[in-house]
């Protein structure tokens, strides 16, 4: 299992590399193919095509230089598109159809759609890509038509094995080119989907949580309260308030107040665990919806109160303590949630009036 996961990870890294350097790989690989063609046509004494491939290699060298600036990417695409069209037509005129040099034109069709999707904005990209695709297909048909009306300039008498090798080289190169770009296309779809999913998760988190403490906000807590009320099960609500919070802000600064809120929020989330939801109800007030019974909820709230009382807060190299007062109310099936919240709030202020730093239920 670990080996498979490691292999998948290596594959993803390889595909990411292809995505990042796809245009460079395209230019270099096509340049290498044309260098191969140069030596092939030189060996076959088809000098026009040998010279043509010299200019092709120089064209791709210039394209590789232009790739230093992504602003010139459209020029690189157009030069590649035009060179492949002209090379296929020239090969059909010089040596004929049977060696497969025209296959590269067919690979241009999906390549046009891919590149236009990256380079052309709006709906125009579909129109431009379609026109370029039709032109590529017309060039492919023209390569075939040329042979119908006139013989090639160079009537090569090659052994069948050699002819088959040339055709398979061209067919394999075309196939590899299309497979690689199909993989890159699928990878980019996957990455875009993941990015959109992460953005949606972030937006949902921003909509449902308090940005300072990371607790649920009042809007999302209302959903939990409604669901708990509709489930016809008993639950408890605990309204928590930080004692003398204004004094903390006045003494240590508002940065210290933010630190207190964040660290108290972490303590409450930790102590509550999976037995409830913790929400920043407003200001320094925190509402906890507990699925435990009254006795268990009181034990949890006492643990929260003790943990906060024992916690040392630090701001600007100053150490200090804080405490919380908590009011608990049990919600009974059939009652109104607002009444339970009001009762928890009443118990909270009873605790405030009787000395603070206590749990009242």
Please name the residues in contact with 221: beta carbons below 8 A apart, sequence gap of 6 or more: 277, 279, 281, 287, 289
Nearest CA-CA partner of 84 in 65, 59, 48, 113: 59
Please name the residues in contact with 76: beta carbons below 8 A apart, sequence gap of 6 or more: 23, 27, 63, 66, 67
| Residue pLDDT, tens place only, 300-343 | 999 999 999 999 999 888 899 999 999 999 998 878 899 999 99
Q: Which residues pair with 205 in a beta bridge?
A: none
- Look at residue 6 in the predicted model and tell me its pLDDT: 54
What is the rounded distance in angstroms from the CA atom of residue 276 to the CA atom of residue 290?
4
Residue count (the chain): 361
DSSP string covering 77-108, please? HHHHHHHHHHHHHHHHHHH-STT-TTHHHHHH
- Look at residue 186 in the predicted model and tell me its pLDDT: 79
Q: Are 127 and 113 in contact (CB under 8 A)?
A: no
What is the rounded distance in angstroms from the CA atom of residue 108 to the CA atom of residue 131?
12
Question: What percent of the chain lies above the pLDDT cut of 90?
Answer: 50
- Look at residue 11 in the predicted model and tell me its pLDDT: 57
Q: Are 255 and 360 in contact (CB under 8 A)?
A: no
CATH of domain 218-360: 3.30.70.270
Q: Which residues are catalytic?
A: 284
What tokens appear for 215 in the block? 């607790």
**pLDDT < 50 positions in the chain:** 1-3
Mean pLDDT of the chain: 87
Q: Is 337 exposed, middle or buried (0-12, 13-18, 19+ CB in 10 A)?
A: middle
| Residue pLDDT, tens place only, 78-93 | 999 999 999 999 999 9
What is the rounded distance in angstroms from the CA atom of residue 288 to the CA atom of residue 12?
43
- Look at residue 80 in the predicted model and tell me its pLDDT: 92
For the chain, the structural domain boundaries read 2-204, 218-360
């Amino acid at each position: 299992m670990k080996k498979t996961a490691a292999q998948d990870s290596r594959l993803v890294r390889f595909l990411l590399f292809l995505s990042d350097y796809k245009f460079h790989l395209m230019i270099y690989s096509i340049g290498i193919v044309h260098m191969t063609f140069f030596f092939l046509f030189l060996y076959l004494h088809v000098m026009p095509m040998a010279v043509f491939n010299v200019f092709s290699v120089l064209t791709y060298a210039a394209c590789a230089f232009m790739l230093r600036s992504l602003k010139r990417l459209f020029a690189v695409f157009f030069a590649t598109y035009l060179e492949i069209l002209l090379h296929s037509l020239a090969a059909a005129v010089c040596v004929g159809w049977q060696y497969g040099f025209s296959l590269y034109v067919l690979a241009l069709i999906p390549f046009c759609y891919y590149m236009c999707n990256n380079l052309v904005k709006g709906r125009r990209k579909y129109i431009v890509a379609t026109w370029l695709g039709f032109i590529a297909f017309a060039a492919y048909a023209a390569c075939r038509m040329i042979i119908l009306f006139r013989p090639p300039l160079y009537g090569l008498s090659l052994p069948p094995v050699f002819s088959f090798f040339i055709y398979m080289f061209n067919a394999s190169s075309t196939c590899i080119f299309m497979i690689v770009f199909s993989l890159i296309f699928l990878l980019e779809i996957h990455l875009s989907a993941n990015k959109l999913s992460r953005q949606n998760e972030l937006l949902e988190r921003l909509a449902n949580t308090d940005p300072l403490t990371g607790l649920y906000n009042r809007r999302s807590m209302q959903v939990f309260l409604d669901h708990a009320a509709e489930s016809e099960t008993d639950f408890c609500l605990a309204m928590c308030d930080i004692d003398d919070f204004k004094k903390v802000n006045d003494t240590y600064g508002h940065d210290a107040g933010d630190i207190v809120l964040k660290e108290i929020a972490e303590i409450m989330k930790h102590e509550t665990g999976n037995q409830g939801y913790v929400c920043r109800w407003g200001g320094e007030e925190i509402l906890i919806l507990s699925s435990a019974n009254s006795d268990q909820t009181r034990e949890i709230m006492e643990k929260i109160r003790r943990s906060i009382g024992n916690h040392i807060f630090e701001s600007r190299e100053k150490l200090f303590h804080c405490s919380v007062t908590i009011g608990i109310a049990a919600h009974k099936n059939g009652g109104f949630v607002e009444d339970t919240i009001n009762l928890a709030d009443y118990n909270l202020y009873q605790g405030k009036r009787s000395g603070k730093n206590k749990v009242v239920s």
